[in-house]
Structures are given as structure tokens and as C-alpha cells.
């Protein structure tokens, strides 16, 4: 009993801010500024707030930017990391250990530290303020290489040999044998990659100025700055719209999310 | 005199050169597979990392055509810069309070969840939910909660007769409030680490403890659970500390480092110096300091703690 | 169609020389078995034949081609692995179709969706499916075609692995301990099936095994490898009756041959066999007796070795009697029929007899001594017939 009491109250504290946000997003301005508080509005104003949020700022655009950028990053990461991970796991060649050491060094570097040179790089390439700038710095992931290498290493050599005898090319082995076998790792990695880039604010803040190109995290604070102070209802509605996709995805696929994020902690 | 190598037949020579050709082809395959990854790793990770050190040794200002090498001048400036020290001390204070609190609460929640079997999945999901929230958007929710007039917090306090506080604009409250938000977000993460750790404790250890007389829930906790969670706790401390050093979003959204510089922290300083004041060389020096801290913590995790985490 | 010829194959991993200049000719259609202790290089040799590993020296010919420069898929060999190496994410049907798809369809035709539109793909796929079905029927795995390997028993997986090797009708079958993951009963029946398969296909088989029963029953010739060297290549019967090396003798036969230091038998050798009087000659010499070549007689029989029964094992058709004799550590095992000889009870003292011609004598290095220090055979024969 005590257990439920404690856990329910901590859960209430944790959900409080989100519940409060939703509550405000349902209320008309008059009720928001009233001194007494209640969870549910007296006068339902949800439709107005959410419509307002969607028309004032390109929220759907932010979300679709997020989807485009995250999926492009993920696709590039898999296309680039899987072959090198396979080479590191299964092929013998000179310099292999040195390259793996390089991957480990990459794993050690926090991305914020690299922001400055990467900004200069994107500037020189003339891709600042474009999708390319959002994607380019992340198309290779040392963690992805590391993770896939671990997985590929654990597959039996026999399987690779059988594939060679059957006529697969090395690239075919990577993408048609190894990757499907490493499916749990691929899913976990995908979730880790998507959540971290969906939520990332630091790099988009540096790389993007144009509102139409902003991913969700950056978009929502631009929206906030434009709406500042006055219109709490639509602002909360906007924040809720930005928060919803990941939270819903998490609740729908908890097990995968937990696995993916736990994997990330060993980074 | 020349030594003629022993060859059995022409067939052997042919075989050796044929094998040589296959080795070459295998090498080419390896290069083709690993090449793009290596190249990009260089361009996007290794060279930028080196560049940060190089830029830190210049007085370059972003956009400027020329710059000169100043050696360790930027680091000297950093050393003498009261603002930097302020930011550093804020960060260390933030880390040293928030991290133990987050990990401690995470442990308690995990223990409570595992204590009985009812509603485990539900509690786990609810406590983990904040970790999944896009922090920029969640910060907006927090802002409304902390709002001096319409905020829920002040409304509640008011009903107890407490004076209104402008939580985010008061230099005495701003850091604790940011700390609370950090705990709010990361508690579920620590909890999950402990839940994973609790699963690895073999149940026969509890049976053994019971035979030895430790049969109450508290004595079981003291004799079996906590000692075995020790390594996980160390691991969680480091991982959460890494996240605490990297706090940025909430500062950017909620306080901009203010009021004054009361809530400025390392990564925010790095951002402001590099990308707002465009003092690139100086910003790079901050990056180097930040990098060293993160690498120190990561290496601690890999070399000191990993062994302990994995032995069980 | 395809004989295999290995000429001076050498291979090292780092410092360790795994194969030491192996030369071997395998006839077209022959069933050759490689046996030997773990780590002696059998799998490595097989992989070199398949082209999965590159030798450091020497050359491989399959049929009339030198294949050293060819990648595995171009060598016209198929391989069955100990772990079966089935693709776990594909159905049995796709597993078996892979070698054909990779060979008969072009890169474009293999592509998902787009491939369907390419000319001739449909027809090609249909003919592949038909071929797969035919092989599956022959192996009795047709009902399993829609399953994934994870849903199959060990024996079924083994069949699928054989099926995948069969569909492309290779000139050479390489099998690396294909039965060692099966339980004993299944192993015996699969052994028979592999023998039939070889008879039916008539192609060359190179078969690696640990199991000497497989080696003895399946092979035209057995090749015993030790430490990267070929010790003896011969038909199974020759290997059993006339081994060149003590290791061959020890490897072949179950229960295994009784190996006794000659010094422990010096008196018996001197009196009964009339070994050359000099005991120094016996140093390091080992004498082997096959269990069925020893016979039990009453204590005190002339020309016999005294012993005491330690243990009697009844195996139905056979009876294994473990007998301790003086100055040896391990008992000798004698194989008798259950009703032969005197009553045998543990603890009883009896005696052993052996025909000198059945003694296999090996020198200190383990090499067979066909000509013994003193040819005692005739003497003994004279005695026993007297
Ligand atoms: N890729 C490799 N790298 C290094 N050493 C290897 C490699 N493959 C095999 N070896 C070594 O070569 C030796 C022979 O290996 P191989 O697999 O051919 O033995 P085997 O006769 O098949 O043994 P088993 O009966 O146990 O399968 C072993 O000592 C093994 O450790
Ligand atoms: Mg082997």
C-alpha cells in the first residue's frame, strides 16, 4: 500500500508539468490568468488553441523536418556504418586495429565540442541553413560502427562462408545477411539515433536560421519567442504537439525504446 | 652468387601469383567497405577534434580573414576570467548536487517498483516518460508551471500563504529550479539502469540471505540488494554526471544563463562564446576544457567502472 | 568430372603452421574422409579447397583447372557446415534457392520489386522454385519449405543444409563434421543417407569427421591428419589392420586398441615370443593388441600373460573384459562373445594369449615396425601349433 502511495505521488510529480501543459492548452485566456486553478477548463477552448498553434507557426513543418532529417541521418548511418563494421569484424587487413582505435576515439568525443569546426566546415561547403547542414555531421556514427561490429563479430564465420559459396558479394553479405541478423541491434540503434536527433537543440541552433527548415526542438522555441508571454493557450498546444510524437511512440513500443536507450548508456 | 629459390613446378609459380591477385582483390574489397566510413570519420570527428585544439591556440574570430597564433593565451585568459570560473563553479555545483539526487531517487523508485509485482510496467513507463520528452518543448511546459503569476507552483504556494517567487529570474532560485528540472528528466533513466541491475541479482542469493537470518525486507536490502547494486550505482553516477555536464537546452530556453550569469554553465558558455560573441579561439579553449572533463569521465567509466559492472 | 589435387599446400596462422605441405590426390567420385584430432587443420584444409581461405603455398586443382585464383563461388564446390550455417532470417525454401538465385539471376533481376519487371525473371524464379522443390522432395523436407530454420529440429536443419548444397549440382561436396550436432541415433541413420547420396550423385565428397565410425563406414579412403601433416591415407580396412603409425592405430577402432609398453611385457616377449634378448631394444617400443585379437585362457597356460579381471561389461552381442596385468597402468580390454571362454568374474585370475602376427609394434617415434628386431613370428607359430 505504502508502495503504491509513494509511487503514485512521485508519478504525479513527474507527470505534473506535462499535465499542466495539456491543461493550459485546453483553456481560454481568461481562465489561464484566473488566480484559482483547476485541471479541466470550464469552457473548452482546445480546438481554438490547437488551431491557433497550427496556423501561427509551421508546426507540421517542424515535425516533418524532424522526420526527414532523422530518417536521412539514420539511413546514411546504417549505409555507412554497416560495411565498415563488417570489415572491422570479419575481414583481415592491415591497419584494422588502428581504424578500430579511431572509432573508439570518435566514440569518446562529445559532439558539442566538434560543433565549431563542423560549423566552419558547413560554412565553407556553403550548406549552412539547409537540410544538408543538419544531416552531414551525423552521417557516420562511431557508436553505430562499434555496436554493429560487436554484433557482426558474434555471428559465426560459417554463415559468412556459406554466403560466399552461395555467390553473395561482400556488400551483399553486409546488407542481406549481416544486417538482417543484427536486427535487434539495428532497431535499438535506430531508436537511439532518432530520439537523440529529434530532441537535439544544440546543433540546429547553430546550423539553421530559416524557420521552414527547423527541426522540432528548435522550431518550438522559435514559436515560443514569437508568441512570448501573451498567448499561453496556443503556446502550450504547440509544445504538446511537438512532444506528442515521441511520447506516443515510446508508449507504443516501450520495450524497444528501453532497450535502445539502455544500449546508449554503455556508450 | 645468387640463391635460386626452390620451386617445384611452374604450377606453383602460377598458384602463388593467382593467390597474390586474390589477396589484392580482398584488400580492395576491404577498402571499398571501410573506406567511406573511415573517410567520414576523419572529416567529421578526428579532424574537427584536432581543429578545436588548433583553433584554441589562435585569436581567430569567426568570419575574420586573418588570425594569429597565440599559444596558450586563450587558456590564460580563461584562467583569469571570472565569468568562466563562475560558469565552471555553477556547473560543478549543479553536477555535485543533481547527480547524487537523481541517482538516489532513481534507486528508490526502482526498489519500490521491484518490491512487489503490481503495476510494474505502468510505474516504469510513467517514471521514464519525462526522459523521452523533447526538452525544448518540455521546458516551455515548465516555464508555464514556474510562471510568477499564472504558474501552478506559485498558485499552490499562495494557497499556503507563501509570497510569490519569480523562480527563473531570481538568482537564488534559478539553479535549484534548473536542478529540479534535470532531476525530473533524468530520474527515470537512473531508475531504468537500476531496474536492469536488479534483474541480474540471482534470486538464490535472497534465499541464502534468508537462511542466514536476513528475512525482513530491510535486512534483505542491506545484505543483498544494495551491495550488489554498488557497481551499477557507480556506473549510473558517471553516466548521469555526463548528462549533467552537457546540460544546455533548459538554460537556452528558460534563462539564457541569467539572471546576470547566475545560471550560466559550461556548455552554454561554450555556445555563447563560440556562436554568439563569435570569440572563436576563446570558445575553442572552453571546448577543450569541456572535452577534457567528458573524456575524463568516460575513461573513468570504461576503465575503472566497466570491470566492476561486468564482473557480476 | 572433378578430381581434386592438392600440391604442397601450406598454411600458417601467425606463427603456427597449421598445414605443412600437404599433397593429396582425390579421384573423381571418390568419398574421402579427413580424420584427426581437434585442431590438426582439417577444417582449414577444407576451407582452402573451397577457396574460403587462402593458402600460403602450394596449389589446388579441381577437375582440370587450377582454382587458386578463383573465388569460392566460381569453384563449383558446395559445402555443408557443422553448424549448418542456414540463413536464420530466410525460409527453408529461400535458403535452398539462394545458390540458384545468385547464379541464374542477374543483379537487376535479383532486386526486390524492380527485379520482377525485368524480362524473364518470372520464368527464372519459377524454374528455381521447381528445382528447389525437386531436391526437397528427394530429401523428404518438402513439407518444411515455408518454415524458418529456427523452427526445425537438428536433423531437419541438417537435411536443409545438404539440400542447399545439392540444388546447384556441384562437382564437389565438402562436408565439415555435418553430423556432429546430432544425437547418436540420428547420426547413424543420416550416415546411411549420406552414403546413399554419394552413391546416387556420384560426385566427389570430401568429408571431415571426428567420428571414426563415420570414417570407417562411409569412405573409400580415409586420410588421417595429425598436426597439419598427412599420416596415412588408405581404405578403412587397411587403416585398421595395417596402420603406419601408433596414432592411426589409436584413432581407429572401438574400443580402442590396447597399447602396452614393450618393457612391461619383456619376460613374455622373451619367453613366449622370443623377442631378441637385449632388453634395451624395447625402450620406447609400444605394442598394440586389438581387443578382439586377445583371447582369455586359464591361468598357467603356456605362452600366456597372467592377469586379473577388473571389470566385465556386457553389451549384448559382445562382452568387454578389463584385465589388469603386471606393470601396466591401464587394464587391457578384451572383446569376447558372451558365452566364450571360462566363467569370468571380477577378481578372478586368468591369462591372456595373443598371436604374434596380431601384434602391432611401433617404435619410440610411433612409427610402425613391420620388421621386428627379431622375427619371432615363426617361432611362436611353431610353438602354438605344437
Ligand atoms: N582464422 C584463424 N586464425 C588463427 N588461427 C586459426 C584460424 N583458423 C584456425 N586456426 C587454428 O588452426 C588450427 C587448425 O584449425 P582447424 O579449424 O583447421 O582444426 P580442425 O582440425 O578442423 O579442428 P576441429 O576438429 O576441432 O574442428 C587450430 O589450432 C586453430 O586454432
Ligand atoms: Mg574443424
> Using one digit for the tens of pLDDT, what is the confidence trace for C29-52?
999 999 988 888 999 999 999 999
CB C32 within 8 A of CB C26: yes
Looking at the fold, whether B15 and B86 belong to one and the same domain comes out as no
For residue A173, give the chain C residue with the closest CA: C87
Q: What is the DSSP letter of C245?
A: B
How many angstroms separate the CA atoms of C90 and B51, rounded? 47
Q: Looking only at Cα atoms, what is the longest distance across chain A?
A: 76
Give counts: helices (H), strands (E), chain A: 16, 0
Closest C-alpha residue for ligand 1 atom 16: C41
Q: Name residues whose C-beta falls within 8 Å of residue C86's C-beta, 6 or more positions apart in sequence.
A: A162, C92, C95, C149, C157, C160, C161, C164
Percent of chain B with pLDDT over 70: 93
Contacts of B23 in chain C (CB under 8 A): 54
Spacing, Cα A83 to ligand 2 middle (Å) = 28
Strands C65-66 and C360-362: unpaired
Stated as kind and residue range, the H or E segment containing B136 is: helix B135-146
- Model pLDDT, residue A266: 59
If you average pLDDT over residues C126-143, what whole number do you get?
91
Contact B33 A170 (CB under 8 A): yes
The DSSP symbol for B60 reads -
Residues spanned by the domain of B126: 74-306
B7 has pLDDT over 60: no
Q: From ligand 2's centre to the CA of C176, what distance in Å?
A: 7
For residue C288, the SS3 value is: strand
Ligand 1 atom closest to the CA of C36, numbered from 1: 21
**Segment B252-262 mean pLDDT:** 85
* H or E element, residue B129: helix B120-132
Q: Does the global pTM surpass 0.90?
A: no
Nearest to A138 by CA among A63, A202, A225, A230: A202
Q: How many CB atoms lie within 10 A of CB C126?
A: 10
User: Are residue B98 and residue B1 in the same domain, yes or no?
Assistant: no
Return mean pLDDT, chain A: 89
Residues B105 and B221 occupy one common structural domain: yes
| Strands C204-209, C172-176: pairing kind | parallel
B27 and B135 within one domain: no
- In this predicted structure, the answer to whether residue C193 has a pLDDT above a threshold of 60 is yes
User: In the predicted model, is pLDDT for residue C60 greater than 80?
Assistant: yes
The more confidently predicted of residues C372 and C173 is C173
List, as one string, the DSSP characters of B3-58: PPPP---HHHHHHHHHHHHHHHHHHHHHHHHHHHHHHHHIIIIIHHHHHHHHHHTB
Q: What is the pLDDT of residue C372?
A: 52
pLDDT of res. C376 = 47
Q: How far is C132 from chain A (nearest CA, A)?
A: 14
Residues of C in contact with A161 (CB under 8 A): 47, 50, 52, 72, 79, 81, 85
Average pLDDT over residues A22-38: 78
Listed residue (B139, B92, B89) closest to B250, CA to CA? B139
Q: Let me know if residue B61 belongs to a domain.
A: no
**Residues B25 and B94 occupy one common structural domain:** no
Residue A64: per-residue pLDDT? 94
For residue range C241-257, what is the model confidence (pLDDT) as tens digits? 889 888 888 888 888 89
Between A158-167, B216-225, B282-291, C286-295, the lowest mean confidence (pLDDT) is in B216-225
Residue B164 DSSP code: P
B153 and B193 in a single domain? The answer is yes
pLDDT band at A265 (very low <50, low <70, confident <90, very high): low
**Mean pLDDT score, C113-128:** 82
Judge whether B67 lies within some domain.
no
List of residues 6+ apart from A230 with CB closer than 8 A = none
Is residue C27 within 8 Å of C3, Cβ to Cβ?
Answer: yes
Of chain B, the end-to-end C-alpha distance in Å amounts to 65
Task: Provide the number of CB pairs (under 8 Å) joining chain A to chain C.
Answer: 53
Task: Give chain B's domain count.
Answer: 2
Pairing of strands C77-80, C172-176: parallel
Q: Considering only CA atoms, which residue is closest to atom 8 of ligand 1? A: C44
CA atoms of B79 and B59, how far apart (whole Å): 16
Whether A92 has its CB under 8 Å from any CB of chain C: the answer is no
pLDDT band at B228 (very low <50, low <70, confident <90, very high): confident
Q: Give the pLDDT of residue B311.
A: 40
Q: Are B78 and B24 within one domain?
A: no
Domains of chain C are: 4-246 (3.40.50.300), 255-385 (2.40.50.140)
State the residue for C-alpha cell 570491470: B307
- Neighbouring residues of A143: CB distance < 8 A, sequence distance ≥ 6: A107, A189, A192, A264, A267
Dig out the grid coordinates for C279 from the structure. Answer: 632388453
**What pLDDT does residue B3 have?**
44
DSSP for C100-142? HHHHHS-HHHHSTTHHHHSTTHHHHHHHHHHHHHHHHHHHT-G
Q: Residue B113 is placed in which grid cell?
A: 517498483
Bridge partners (DSSP) of residue C230 are: C225
Atom of ligand 1 nearest to the CA of C228: 14
> Is B25 in the same domain as B153?
no
Atom 7 in ligand 1: which residue has the minimum CA distance? Answer: C13
Sign of CA dihedral C98, C102, C103, C104: positive
Identify whether the C-beta of residue C235 lies closer than 8 Å to the C-beta of residue C222: yes
Name the DSSP letter for residue C85.
-
Mean pLDDT of A172-192: 92
**Is C44 touching ligand 1 by the criterion CB < 6 Å?**
yes
DSSP character string of A183-211: HHHHHHHHHHHHHHHHH--HHHHHH---G
Going by pLDDT thresholds of 50, 70 and 90, the confidence category of residue A25 is confident
What percentage of chain B has pLDDT greater than the value 90?
33
Interface test with A, best of C81, C132, C173, C174 (most A CBs within 10 A): C81
pLDDT score at C172:
93
Determine, yes or no, domain membership for B69: no
Asked if the bond preceding B182 is cis, omega within 30° of 0, the reply is no
A194 contact partners, CB below 8 Å, separation of at least 6: A70, A71, A74
Is residue A229 predicted with pLDDT exceeding 60?
no
Give a yes or no: residue B108 inside a domain. yes
Q: What is the mean pLDDT of residues A201-209?
A: 93
**Range with the poorest average pLDDT among A20-29, A146-155, B103-112, C3-12:** A20-29
- Whether residue B64 is contained in a domain is answered as no
CA A254 to chain C, closest CA, distance in angstroms equals: 24
- What percent of chain C has pLDDT above 90? 32
Which residue of chain B comes nearest to C54, CA vs CA? B19
Reply yes or no: is the peptide bond before residue B259 cis, omega within 30 of 0. Answer: yes
- The whole-angstrom separation of Cα C55 and Cα A265 is 43
| Type and span of the H or E element at B146 | helix B135-146
Could you give the domains of chain A? 14-57+227-241 (no CATH), 63-221+245-265 (1.10.3720.10)
Q: How confident is the model at residue C116 (pLDDT cuts 50, 70, 90)?
A: confident
Q: B92 and B33 in one domain?
A: no
Average pLDDT, chain C: 85
Pair B117, B10 in one domain: no
Q: What is the ipTM of this complex?
A: 0.90
Q: How far apart are the first and last CA of chain A?
A: 38
pLDDT at C174 over 60: yes
Residue B63 lies in a domain: no
Any idea what the CATH number is for the domain that residue B88 is in?
Answer: 1.10.3720.10
Q: How confident is the model at residue C274 (pLDDT cuts 50, 70, 90)?
A: low
Residue A72 predicted with pLDDT over 90: yes
pLDDT of residue B207 exceeding 80? no
Question: What gap in Å lies between CA A41 and CA A34, rounded to an integer?
Answer: 11
Same domain, B169 and B140: yes
CA atoms within 13 A on the CB side of C100: 24
* CB-based contact B44 A170, cutoff 8 Å: no
Beta bridge partners of A175: none
The answer to the question of residue B264 being in a domain is yes
| Chain B residues contacting C via beta carbons under 8 Å | 8-9, 11-12, 14-16, 18-19, 21-23, 26
Q: What is the pLDDT of residue C341?
A: 61
Q: With cut-offs at 50, 70 and 90, classify the pLDDT of residue C380.
A: very low
| Residue B145 covered by a domain | yes
pLDDT at B208 over 90: no
Residue C42 Cβ inside 6 Å of ligand 1? The answer reads: yes
**How many Å lie between the centroid of ligand 2 and the Cα of residue C218?**
18
Domain shared by B139 and B47, yes or no: no
Q: What is the pLDDT of residue C281?
A: 64
Average pLDDT over chain B reads: 85
> What is the predicted pLDDT for the residue at C81?
92
Q: In angstroms, what is the span from residue C18 Cα to ligand 1's centroid?
A: 7
Q: Which has more pLDDT, B307 or A108? A: A108
Buried b (16+ CB within 10 A) or exposed e, A12-48: eebebbbebbbbbbbbbeebbeeeebeeebeeebeee
Please tell me which residue, B223 or B36, carries the higher pLDDT value: B36
A10 SS3 class = helix
**Closest listed residue to residue C168, CA positions, set C200, C139, C128:** C128
**Of the bound ligands, which one is closest to the alpha carbon of residue C175?**
2
Amino acid at each position: 500500500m505504502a508502495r503504491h502511495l509513494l509511487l503514485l505521488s512521485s508519478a504525479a510529480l513527474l507527470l505534473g508539468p506535462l499535465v499542466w501543459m495539456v491543461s493550459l492548452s485546453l483553456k481560454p485566456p481568461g481562465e489561464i490568468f484566473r488566480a484559482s486553478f483547476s485541471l479541466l477548463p470550464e469552457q473548452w477552448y482546445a480546438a481554438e488553441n490547437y488551431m491557433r498553434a497550427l496556423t501561427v507557426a509551421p508546426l507540421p513543418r517542424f515535425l516533418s523536418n524532424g522526420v526527414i532529417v532523422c530518417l536521412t541521418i539514420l539511413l546514411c548511418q546504417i549505409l555507412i556504418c554497416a560495411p565498415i563494421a563488417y570489415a572491422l569484424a570479419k575481414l583481415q587487413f592491415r591497419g584494422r586495429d588502428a581504424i578500430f582505435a579511431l572509432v573508439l576515439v570518435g566514440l569518446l568525443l562529445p559532439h558539442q565540442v566538434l560543433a565549431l569546426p563542423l560549423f566552419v566546415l558547413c560554412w565553407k561547403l556553403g550548406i549552412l541553413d539547409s537540410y544538408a547542414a543538419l544531416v552531414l555531421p551525423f552521417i557516420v556514427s562511431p557508436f553505430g560502427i562499434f555496436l554493429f561490429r560487436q554484433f557482426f563479430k558474434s555471428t559465426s564465420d560459417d554463415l559468412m562462408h556459406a554466403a560466399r559459396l552461395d555467390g553473395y558479394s561482400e556488400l551483399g553479405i553486409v546488407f542481406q545477411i549481416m544486417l538482417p541478423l543484427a536486427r535487434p541491434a539495428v532497431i535499438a540503434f535506430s531508436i537511439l539515433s532518432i530520439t537523440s536527433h529529434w530532441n537535439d537543440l544544440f546543433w540546429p541552433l547553430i546550423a539553421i536560421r530559416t524557420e521552414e527548415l527547423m527541426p522540432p526542438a528548435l522550431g518550438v522555441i522559435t514559436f515560443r519567442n514569437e508568441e512570448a508571454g501573451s498567448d499561453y493557450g496556443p503556446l502550450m498546444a504547440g509544445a504538446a504537439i511537438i512532444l506528442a510524437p515521441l511520447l506516443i511512440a515510446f508508449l507504443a513500443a516501450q520495450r524497444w525504446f528501453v532497450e535502445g536507450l539502455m544500449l546508449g548508456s554503455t556508450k | 652468387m645468387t640463391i635460386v629459390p626452390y620451386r617445384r613446378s611452374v604450377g606453383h609459380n602460377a598458384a602463388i601469383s593467382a593467390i597474390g591477385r586474390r589477396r589484392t582483390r580482398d584488400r580492395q574489397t576491404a577498402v571499398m567497405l571501410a573506406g567511406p566510413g573511415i573517410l567520414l570519420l576523419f572529416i567529421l570527428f578526428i579532424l574537427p577534434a584536432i581543429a578545436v585544439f588548433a583553433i584554441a591556440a589562435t585569436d581567430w574570430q569567426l568570419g575574420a580573414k586573418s588570425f594569429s597564433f597565440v599559444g596558450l593565451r586563450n587558456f590564460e585568459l580563461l584562467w583569469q576570467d571570472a565569468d568562466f570560473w563562475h560558469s565552471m563553479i555553477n556547473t560543478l555545483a549543479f553536477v555535485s548536487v543533481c547527480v547524487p539526487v537523481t541517482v538516489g531517487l532513481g534507486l528508490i523508485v526502482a526498489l519500490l517498483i521491484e518490491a512487489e509485482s503490481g503495476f510494474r510496467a505502468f510505474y516504469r513507463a510513467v517514471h521514464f516518460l519525462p526522459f523521452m520528452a523533447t526538452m525544448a518543448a518540455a521546458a516551455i511546459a515548465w516555464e508555464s508551471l514556474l510562471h510568477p503569476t499564472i504558474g501552478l507552483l506559485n498558485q499552490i504556494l499562495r494557497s499556503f500563504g507563501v509570497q510569490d517567487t519569480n523562480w527563473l529570474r531570481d538568482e537564488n532560485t534559478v539553479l535549484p529550479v534548473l536542478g529540479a528540472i534535470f532531476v525530473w528528466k533524468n530520474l527515470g533513466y537512473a531508475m531504468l539502469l537500476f531496474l536492469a541491475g536488479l534483474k541480474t541479482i540471482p534470486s538464490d542469493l535472497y534465499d541464502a540471505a534468508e537462511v542466514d537470518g536476513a528475512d525482513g525486507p530491510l535486512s534483505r536490502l542491506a545484505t543483498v540488494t544494495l551491495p550488489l547494486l554498488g557497481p551499477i550505482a557507480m556506473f549510473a553516477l558517471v553516466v548521469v554526471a555526463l548528462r549533467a555536464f552537457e546540460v544546455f537546452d533548459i538554460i537556452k530556453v528558460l534563462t539564457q544563463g541569467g539572471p546576470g550569469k547566475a545560471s550560466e554553465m559550461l556548455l552554454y558558455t561554450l555556445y555563447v562564446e563560440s556562436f554568439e560573441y563569435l570569440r572563436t579561439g576563446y570558445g575553442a579553449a572552453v571546448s577543450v576544457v569541456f572535452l577534457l572533463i567528458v573524456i575524463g569521465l568516460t575513461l573513468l567509466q570504461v576503465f575503472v567502472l566497466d570491470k566492476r559492472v561486468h564482473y557480476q | 568430372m572433378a578430381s581434386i589435387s592438392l600440391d604442397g599446400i601450406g598454411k600458417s596462422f601467425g606463427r603456427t603452421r597449421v598445414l605443412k605441405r600437404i599433397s593429396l590426390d582425390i579421384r573423381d567420385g571418390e568419398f574421402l574422409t579427413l580424420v584427426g584430432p581437434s585442431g590438426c587443420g582439417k577444417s582449414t584444409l577444407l576451407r582452402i579447397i573451397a577457396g574460403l581461405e587462402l593458402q600460403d603455398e602450394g596449389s589446388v586443382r579441381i577437375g582440370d583447372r587450377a582454382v587458386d585464383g578463383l573465388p569460392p563461388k566460381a569453384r563449383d564446390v558446395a559445402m555443408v557446415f557443422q553448424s549448418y550455417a542456414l540463413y536464420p532470417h530466410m525460409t527453408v525454401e529461400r535458403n535452398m534457392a539462394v545458390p540458384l538465385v545468385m547464379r541464374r539471376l542477374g543483379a537487376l533481376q535479383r532486386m526486390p520489386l524492380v527485379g520482377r519487371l525485368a524480362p524473364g525473371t518470372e520464368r527464372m524464379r519459377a524454374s528455381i522454385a521447381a528445382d528447389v522443390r525437386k531436391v526437397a522432395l528427394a530429401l523428404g523436407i518438402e513439407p518444411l519449405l515455408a518454415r524458418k530454420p529456427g523452427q526445425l529440429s537438428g536433423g531437419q536443419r541438417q537435411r536443409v543444409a545438404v539440400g542447399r548444397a545439392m540444388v546447384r549440382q556441384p562437382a564437389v561436396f565438402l562436408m565439415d563434421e555435418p553430423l556432429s550436432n546430432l544425437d547418436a541415433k540420428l547420426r547413424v541413420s543420416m550416415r546411411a543417407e549420406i552414403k546413399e547420396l554419394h552413391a546416387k550423385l556420384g560426385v566427389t565428397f570430401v568429408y571431415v569427421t571426428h567420428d571414426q565410425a563415420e570414417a570407417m563406414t562411409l569412405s573409400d579412403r580415409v586420410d588421417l591428419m595429425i598436426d597439419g601433416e598427412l599420416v596415412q591415407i588408405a581404405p578403412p580396412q587397411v587403416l585398421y589392420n595395417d596402420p603406419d603409425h601408433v596414432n592411426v592405430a589409436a584413432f581407429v577402432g572401438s574400443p580402442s586398441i590396447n597399447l602396452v609398453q614393450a618393457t612391461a611385457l619383456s619376460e613374455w616377449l622373451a619367453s613366449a615370443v622370443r623377442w631378441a634378448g637385449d632388453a634395451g631394444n624395447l625402450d620406447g617400443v609400444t605394442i598394440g593388441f586389438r581387443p578382439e585379437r586377445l583371447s582369455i585362457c586359464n591361468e598357467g597356460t603356456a605362452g600366456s600373460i597372467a592377469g586379473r579381471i577388473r571389470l566385465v561389461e556386457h553389451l549384448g552381442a559382445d562382452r568387454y573384459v578389463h584385465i589388469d596385468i603386471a606393470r601396466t597402468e591401464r587394464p587391457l580390454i578384451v572383446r569376447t562373445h558372451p558365452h566364450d571362454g571360462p566363467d569370468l568374474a571380477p577378481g578372478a585370475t586368468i591369462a591372456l594369449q595373443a598371436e604374434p602376427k596380431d601384434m602391432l609394434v611401433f617404435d619410440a617415434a610411433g612409427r610402425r615396425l613391420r620388421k621386428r628386431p627379431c622375427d619371432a613370428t615363426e617361432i611362436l607359430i611353431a610353438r602354438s601349433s605344437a
